[in-house]
Amino acid sequence: MAKTTTKTASKTTRGKKAVVHKNFINGKWVASTTGETFENRNPADNRQVVGVFQKSSDRDVNTAVDAAHEAYKSWRLMPAPKRAEILYKVGERLIQYKEQFASDMTREMGKVLAETRGDVQEAIDMSYYMAGEGRRQFGNTTPSEMRNKFQMSVRQPMGVCGMITPWNFPMAIPSWKIMPALVLGNTVVIKPATDTPLSVVNFVNTLHECGIPPGVVNMVTGSGRAVGEPIINHPSVKLVSFTGSTEVGRSVSSLCGPSFKHVCLEMGGKNAQIVMDDANLSLALEGALWGGFGTTGQRCTATSRVIIHKKVYDKFVTEFVKMAKKLKVGDGLDPKVDVGPTISESQLRTVEQYVTIGKNEDGATLLCGGHRLTKGDLQHGFFHEPTVFGDVSPKMRIAQEEIFGPVVSLIPVKSFDEAIEVCNNVAYGLSASIYTQDVNRAFTAMRDVYTGIFYINAPTIGAEVHLPFGGTKATGNGHREAGQAALDVFSEWKSVYVDFSGALQRAQIDD
């Protein structure tokens, strides 16, 4: 892999100097105009500096947007199949780098190596999928109501797209945004999450190696206020694609509103797995464990609620708690570890606060976990026990608010109808699932659960790149990522009419 930087940091990590990574603007790796940097540390061991990154400002953003604006003039005219060939090369190259990038991601984000491999694999899959869209950006042709008149619809790119991405899927989610934008002829300025910039550096450098022209993809690192807001507010940025919290997403929407700037928001979730009395309990238990504690619960699709029919509630709870207690917490690079750290000290404190809330809410019972882990090497990271609350009421805060950590609430219900009601009765509408052997219940739930994603006999996590990804209510603003739906985010429709009659024909008037 080509080197992205030439300097090393003065601070050391176990005797090794940490690499200084630069911004990528107009095809070159350049230092920020501020001259300042920030450290990215391993959440499993905060003594380790993963890398040093640019603390950028609006001046760096302006330079990046200007480069993207200029590059758009020629990139939009490159035939879409030719643009797609570059994306295909990226997928091929990512396969070669998969292990390296997965290891880097585990060190900067914390989730176990098997999951970071999956994160890189999503970027591979998205590269291949969107490469195919280079020859499939279909429009429509329809008969005209007039004689000697032809009409069709075509997609057109929008221009410079600003992207603000989160830390929990630091390569997959940037790929969901960048690849459809590029194949449609847009150019990009991306701000990675400050907690996980290295994975975006790796992804952008792979694009560079595979022949993306200068200025087509630009990356600027730094804080949301110093970098994110200037991207959102820049008049040459035609669309903002944001993934993150609902609170920040609301602010992004407000900033885009006055200029009618297009904005795609993918935000939080409070996802539920329904377990009916006829469910395959072994399968449902495995699903709830993986959905609740995979990625340390730090997924917008995480199974933070399990809604269980009373007839099987006690048996489910007993087995689920046993399984949760057996999960090994530690450094994600250790193949024996099941659950890695939370991303940061602040996120760990949030989890601890919600555990306290759960303990104090009348009726809920802490069944296991509930503590920060500090023994041995764990004292140097941000580790929390897998935590389970039982007998949770649907109106409790731990059943209503997104925690984004390894905390699962178990909610007993008396009937199928009550399970659907409890599932829907939250502010979010991202993902849900049901475990049942009754096909009628399965199809009823598929119809009545109001979410953007729904699973039958599977956990609430596991989306694939060729179907739309996103949710309802406070989860988003109606757009979808991935699949063909992503093309609608990063393009606009143009209806074209060709009159070859040689005379004026007036639609809706002439007979």
The residues annotated as belonging to the active site are 266, 300
| 320 backbone dihedrals φ, ψ, rounded to 5° | -65, -45
CB neighbours of residue 96 within 10 Å? 11
Which amino acid belongs to residue 151?
A: Q
Asked if residue 389 lies in contact with residue 366, where contact means CB atoms within 8 angstroms, the answer is yes
Which distant-in-sequence residues (6+ apart) come within 8 Å of 61 by Cβ?
A: 189, 220, 227, 230, 231, 234
CA angle 287, 289, 294 (to 5 degrees): 100
Asked if residue 149 lies in contact with residue 501, where contact means CB atoms within 8 angstroms, the answer is yes
Asked if residue 79 lies in contact with residue 132, where contact means CB atoms within 8 angstroms, the answer is no
The DSSP result for 259-291, as a single string, is: GT-EEEEE----EEEEE-TTS-HHHHHHHHHHH
| CA atoms of 470 and 351, how far apart (whole Å) | 24
- In angstroms, what CA-CA distances link 233 with 145, 156, 309? 43, 23, 49
Which amino acid belongs to residue 425?
A: N
| CA atoms of 65 and 240, how far apart (whole Å) | 13
For 417-456, b/e burial (b = at least 16 CB within 10 A) is ebbbebbbebebbbbbbbbbeeeebbebbeeebebbbbbe
| CA atoms of 424 and 413, how far apart (whole Å) | 14
Which distant-in-sequence residues (6+ apart) come within 8 Å of 504 by Cβ?
A: none
CB neighbours of residue 465 within 10 Å? 23
| CA atoms of 204 and 250, how far apart (whole Å) | 28
Characterize the bridge pairing of strands 407-413 and 303-309: parallel
Characterize the bridge pairing of strands 372-373 and 383-384: antiparallel
